[in-house]
Amino acid sequence: MNVTIQEHTQSDSATTLVVSGEVDAYTAPQLREKLMPLTKQKQEIFLDLTAVEYMDSTGLGVLIGAYKSLRAQGGRLVLVGMSARLSRLLKITGLTEIIDIEDGA
């Protein structure tokens, strides 16, 4: 019931965060602390969610916060490696209409 987050810097303006484990009310603050400062530094953030086993609305709240922060500066948040479960969650909450999603392949 933990989350790990690894950053792979691509360039000055782009970075990838690889998230694994469970993102819930307990672990979402860790993701927020890692992600939010980057939204001020980077233009493009790729969030690799391939190894995320569980995410609930608190995790989605972090994604929305990052999306808003990036967009406010003309930046872009891209979700990569969405499982069927996660895709469904984003569809139900209307986020597929808003946040960019790329295939994990």
Partner 1 sequence: MVEPCKDLIELAIPAKAQYVGVVRLTVSGIANRMGFHYDDIEDMKLALAEACTNAVDHAYAGQEGQIAISFFIYDDRLSIRVSDEGNSFDISSVKQRSGPIDKDLPLTSMRERGLGLHLMETLMDRVEIDGERGVIVTLTKFIHRDEVEQDVDSPEKTKSHG
Q: Identify the H or E element spanning 26.
A: none
Q: How far is the CB of 14 from partner 1 (least distance, A)?
A: 21
Identify whether the C-beta of residue 30 lies closer than 8 Å to the C-beta of residue 24: no
Cβ nearer to partner 1, comparing 8 with 68 = 68
Which residue ranges make up the site for partner 1 (CB under 8 A)? 1, 22, 24-26, 54, 56-58, 60-62, 64-65, 68, 71-72, 85, 89, 92-95, 97-98
Min separation Cβ 83 and partner 1, Å: 10
| Positive/negative CA dihedral, 8, 92, 36, 23 | negative
Complex with partner 1: residue 9 or 26, whichever CB lies closer: 26
User: 22 or 44, CB closer to partner 1?
Assistant: 22
Distances, alpha carbon 57 to alpha carbons 40, 42, 44, 61, 104, in Å:
23, 25, 23, 6, 22
